[in-house]
Each structure stands twice: as structure tokens, then as C-alpha cells.
Structure 1
Amino acid sequence: MSTILVTGGSGTLGRHVTDRLRTDGHEVRVLSRHTRPYAVDLREGGSGLDRAVDGADTVVHCATSARGGDEKAARNLIAAARRAGVGHLVYISIVGVDRVPYPYYRTKLAVERLVEDSGTGFTVLRATQFHDLVFRVLRGLAKSPVVPLPARVKDQPVEVTEVAERLAQLAQGTPVGRAEDMGGPEVRTFDSLARAYLRAAGRRRAVVKVPLRGAAYDAFRAGGHLAPQHAVGIRTFDEYLTTRFDGGGARR
């Protein structure tokens, strides 16, 4: 079996990728800012990064930061991978990064291009938003008596463990370049997702659809972040909610 480094391997997606690869018998190294022995800040790079990458056959890049710095982190990782002779670089991206001019999407697209131009065999998988992300957004919005939602916007949430399964499969194969996009099983209006959350949480809130302006909103409204032709996910958002609440693992 091979040695695989998973950046962000303790995060929402990375921990599931790590578990699957270890189950399949691979030696897996977890790189994150706080996980030893490979506690590395990718934005800084350095000898710790070289040590983490040295001897790895494949690198699965799941690490990302809402605080910015993803492009610098990717450059450092790619440089270290090239020095170590890594044969396969796998990157998780988002459906629509080339169609929706949202700042975080632009960053993800820029990292995609760095990966493609790395000179290393690569695979890029784009997925729609995770159930967990939609859940956290709706829980935050529902803290007020009125839940404001962007008007005429749909979403296609996907189960994170299913994305992890697909990413692990790709990591164990040969580089394919752009893999087929991966979307959740249902394309739903955002207000229907919000009402499903409120029912599951036992909350009564007014839902108000707010028209917004801007190129990013127009692209979301046009469905640039959706992949209805790749609705390969199995677990629905309603099923996810049932598990979250019945399992007692979600704050209402």
C-alpha cells in the first residue's frame, strides 16, 4: 500500500478521507496546524512541510481557511510535493468556481489552476455544498425571529462522507485531471431547505426571501453552483437533519 498525506486531515472532510484510506490499508499522514507529528501551517511552509511530504506517493489537499491564504498555502504545498517527487496531487474544489464570481470561489479556482500547472499528476474533484455547511448557515440565520434568505436561489447539498468516499477512491487511482463533478441528490430552493431545518429543529420563524444585487448573486440565482446532471449523492438533506436531531448532536 502507498503513503498518502492528507492536508486538513482533521477537518470536516479530511477526517473522513483519512479514515477511509486507513481502512483500505494505506499509511496516512495527517497534516494540520495542530496535529502532531505533522503540525504545519501551509501558509508558512518550511522544513516541517518538507518532512510531511517526504516519501509520500500521493497528497490529498483538503486544507482551506476562511481567513485567506489558500493560494500561498497551495504554492508551498506544490513546491514541497515537487521536491519530494510526489506522483499524484488530489484537490477538492467546489462546483461553479468558474461560473460564480464569489471571492472564496475565485480563490478555489486560482488554486485549481496552480494544481493544474504544478507539473505533477493531478486530480481535481468539484462538489456541491456539504449538508453541514447548509445546516450551520441556517442555524445561524434562525437565531433571529425572521430568517432572511436570498430570493430565487437553489442549492444541492451533498453528504460529506460520500464526497470523502469519492475523494479517497480518486486518491488511490491514477491522476485523471478534472474528475466528474459530484452533486447532492436533490436541487431544492433555499427556502425549502430553511423550512425543513425549522421543522426538524422545532422552531417557528418567519422566512423572508430577499432579492439581492451583484454579479455573484446573479450567478447563484442562475444555478452556476449546481450540478443537476451529476446528482450522484444518495443521502438527502432531510435524512441528514433526522440524524442530526434524533441523534442529539445538534443545537437547536
Structure 2
Amino acid sequence: MILVTGGTGTLGRKVVRGLLDAGRDVRVLSRSDKAPYDGVQVMVGDLETGEGVDQAVRGVDTIVHCAGSAKGDDVKAKNLIAAAVPAGVRHVVNISVVGANTIPVVSGLDQKMFGYFAGKRGAELIIERSGIPWTNLRATQFHELTFTVAEQLAKLPVVPGPSGFKIQPVDAAAVAERLVELALTEPQGQVEDIAGPRTYTFKEMMKVYLQAVGKRRMMLPMRTPGKAAAAYRAGANLSPGHGTGRTWEDFVNAEVNADVNAGVKA
């Protein structure tokens, strides 16, 4: 039995689908009792509080840990491992973020803007030190999240953006495919990063989105202080040489066309 945490989210659903297609028995830990697909066992629980986690890991050989949020990922990992160790889980596959081990989060401002990286690193260390054999995959920003950010910023008359920041967005489908591969093999520890095929400045990223939706916006570059921001400008969130999957342009155009087609059908 393979347990997928966050199995109803953007990445988790794709992982669940891949495991089902591989003929595996899949269980999902979720705060909702709604299954993402037929044939999936759902266990209701909450990794933030630990409620229901003991029951969810019972009889599980492998966990693919996809549950994540803007903060508190270290707490989620702690509660998961506290249940997984006595349950005899034999492999934990964790998804983390490129930069988790290289972006310093030392000040209040760093914590406010980049605390996500610290939470991911905390989760990595909890899993590594658990005694359970593990595999850790770091990915760059998902196209899906980048699209949401661009969509929201495009609603403003002037788009503020951090100067000097670059991103290398990756398709969640490619990340899910890699996680499925890792879940079906022996634990490998830290594996190579996974990233998108191209790197973009913030301005380039926004221009792709604005062009696709037929909008024009003025860009307002803003200098972000702090050590974490300096590391970001230096490319600590990037992974050259590990590009795969669709480009940002291809993803955006597919999403916009899907929305247009949905509107026409409606």
C-alpha cells in the first residue's frame, strides 16, 4: 500500500493517478473524505494537528509526501514521521523545493517572504533523521503556482516585481511522473533536482502571461532587501542542467485556451 499525503492537491492528484496507472494500491490522507479517483482509499486526517495520521499510515509500505503549504511544512513532517516510525513504514518519498538548503532565512523579513524555504528544509531534516529510508526530490516553482501569481498580479494597473529575481518554472505533471518513479524503486536519499526547461526574469514571466491574455501592464521593479533575497538574486532557486517538461509559454497558452474553450461551451 502506498500513502499519498496531499493527494487531492495539484501535485498529489497527478501522483495518485500515476500510481493507479502503475497498478498500485493507493491510499490518500486528506482533510476531506472525497476520493480524487475511483479505487482510491481515503483516510480523513490533518497533518497540522496529527489527527487521524496514525490510522492513515497503518499497513503502509511507502509514503509519497506531497502535502505542503506556505508555512508549517516542518510541523506536517514531524507529525507524519511520528506516526510512520512505529507503523513500520519502509520508504518516505518527499517533495521539496530547490533552494531549501541554500536560501538563508535569518531575519524577520526573510521569514515573512521566504519562510517557505525554511519550512521545506525543516521537513527534509526531520525525514532524513527519522531512521526510515528516504528519497528527497527538490523541484523548482510549479507552472500552476506561477500562473496563479501572474493571474493575480495582472489584475493590478501596475505590476510590482522583485528586481533581479529569476524563476525556472516546471510542469507539475513532470514532477509527479518523477515522484511515481521514485516511489516504485528503492530509497535513494537525495536525488537530482527537477526543473523547467527555461529560466525567466520576473518581467519575462509576466510578459508571457500578459501577451497570452491580451493585456498590457506597466512593470514596477522593486529591490528586495535581506540575505534570502540576495541568495534568490544569485540563483539559489534555480537548477541549471535539470530542465524537463513543458515550457512556461506552452503551459500558459494551454491554460488560456482551455479557459476560452470552457467559456465558449458555457
When the two structures are superposed, what TM-score results if normalisation uses the length of structure 1?
0.94
After superposition, give the CA deviation of every residue in 1:61-91 in whole Å (9 maximum; x if it has no partner): 111133x332222111112111111100010
The DSSP-based 3-state class of the residue aligned with 2:136 is: strand
Equivalent positions of 1:18-33 (< 5 A) are 18-33=16-31
Deviates more, 1:36-45 or 1:148-157: 36-45
The 2-side partners of 1:43 and 1:170 are apart by: 25
Q: Deviations over 1:25-84 (max 9, x none)?
A: 0000011111354110112224x2222111111001111133x33222211111211111
Alignment deviations for residues 182-227 of structure 1 (CA, whole Å, 9 cap, x no partner): 1110011111110010000111111222222111211111000000
Instruction: Give the structure 1 partner of residue 174 of structure 2.
Output: 162
Cα deviation for residue 249 of structure 1 reads: 6.7
For residue 145 of structure 1, report the CA deviation from its aligned partner.
0.8
| Preserved contact between residue 73 and residue 122 of structure 2 (Cα < 8 Å) | no
Where does structure 1 differ by over 4 angstroms across 4 or more consecutive aligned residues?
none
Unaligned runs of 5+ residues in structure 1 are none
Pick one of 76, 79, 82 that aligns with 2:79: 76
| Alpha carbons of structure 1 residues 249 and 88: separation in structure 2 relative to 1, 3 Å | farther
Unaligned runs of 5+ in 2: 35-41, 105-113
* Counterpart in the other structure of 1:113: 125
- Of the three residues 235, 245, 249, the one matched with 1:238 is 249
Alignment of 1:179 with 2:191, yes or no, is yes
Q: Does 1:98 align with 2:101?
A: yes
Could you tell me how far apart the structure 2 residues matched to 1:249 and 1:167 are? 32
The code of the aligned residue for 2:26 comes to: V
| Aligned alpha-carbon RMSD (Å) | 1.7
**Match of 2:136, as an amino acid?**
V
Task: Give the counterpart of 2:228 among 212, 216, 225.
Answer: 216
Whole-angstrom CA distance in 1 between matches of 2:206 and 2:132: 42
Displacement of 1:229 in angstroms is: 2.2
**How far is 1:250 from its partner?**
10
Who is 2:37 aligned against? none
Q: Which residue of 1 aligns with 2:88?
A: 85
| Cα pair distance change 1:77/1:250, threshold 3 Å | farther
Q: Does 1:61 align with 2:65?
A: yes
> What SS does the corresponding residue of 2:161 show, helix, strand or coil?
strand
Task: Report the CA distance between 1:133 and its aligned residue.
Answer: 1.0
Q: Residue 138 of structure 1 corresponds to which residue in structure 2?
A: 150
Q: How many equivalent residue pairs? A: 247
Aligned equivalents of 1:249 and 1:76: distance in 2?
42
Task: State the one-letter code of the partner of 2:257.
Answer: D
Alignment-mate amino acid for residue 109 of structure 1 = R
The 1-side partners of 2:20 and 2:248 are apart by 28
Kindly indicate whether the alpha-carbon contact (under 8 Å) linking 1:244 and 1:250 is maintained by their aligned counterparts in 2. no
Percent identity over paired residues: 47
TM-score normalised to structure 2 length: 0.89
**Corresponding residue SS for 1:13:** helix
Counterpart-to-counterpart distance in 2, 1:234 and 1:71: 29
**1:191 and 1:6 mapped to 2: Cα distance?**
36
Larger CA deviation: 33-42 vs 105-114: 33-42
- Superimposed CA distance per residue, residues 142-178 of structure 1 (whole angstroms, 9 cap, x where no aligned partner): 1111111111111100000000000110011000000
SS at match of 2:241: helix
